[in-house]
Amino acid sequence: MLTHAQIWRAIDALAMQHHLSPSGLAKIAGLDPTTFNKSKRETASGKPRWPSTESLSKVLQATGSTLDQFVALVVNGGGTRIALQRIPLIGLAQAGSAGYFDDAGFPAGAGWEEIAFPEIGDAHVYALEITGQSMQPVYRDGDRIIVSPRANTRRGDRVVVKTTGGEVMAKHLARITMRKVELQSFNAQFEDRVLDLSKIAFIHRIIWASQ
Instruction: Walk along the chain (211 residues) in steps of 10 and give the mean pLDDT of each run.
Output: 80 85 90 89 86 89 85 68 77 89 90 81 90 88 90 92 94 95 94 96 89 57
Q: Indicate yes or no: pTM above 0.85.
A: no
End-to-end CA distance of the chain: 35
For residue 91, the tally of other CB atoms under 10 A from its CB is 14
Q: What is the pLDDT of residue 78?
A: 53
Q: What gap in Å lies between CA 161 and CA 192, rounded to an integer? A: 13
Q: What is the pLDDT of residue 83?
A: 63
Q: What is the pLDDT of residue 77?
A: 60
Q: What gap in Å lies between CA 178 and CA 202, rounded to an integer? A: 15
CA torsion sign for 205, 151, 129, 70 is positive
Q: What is the pLDDT of residue 133?
A: 87
Q: What is the pLDDT of residue 21?
A: 84
CATH superfamily to which 84-209 belongs: Umud Fragment, subunit A (2.10.109.10)
Torsion (CA) 184, 151, 114, 30 in degrees, nearest 10: 50
Q: What is the pLDDT of residue 2?
A: 67
Q: Are 170 and 145 in contact (CB under 8 A)?
A: yes
List, as one string, the DSSP characters of 124-188.
T-EEEE--SSTTTTTS-TT-EEEEETTS---TT-EEEEEETTS-EEEEEEEEE-SSEEEEE-SST
Q: What is the pLDDT of residue 75?
A: 72
Q: Are 59 and 29 in contact (CB under 8 A)?
A: yes
Return the bridge partners of 84, or none: 118
Q: What is the pLDDT of residue 82?
A: 52
Q: Are 105 and 202 in contact (CB under 8 A)?
A: yes
Q: Where are the domains of the chain?
A: 4-76, 84-209
The number of angstroms, rounded, from the C-alpha of 8 to the middle of its chain's C-alpha atoms is 22
CATH code for the part of the protein at 4-76: 1.10.260.40
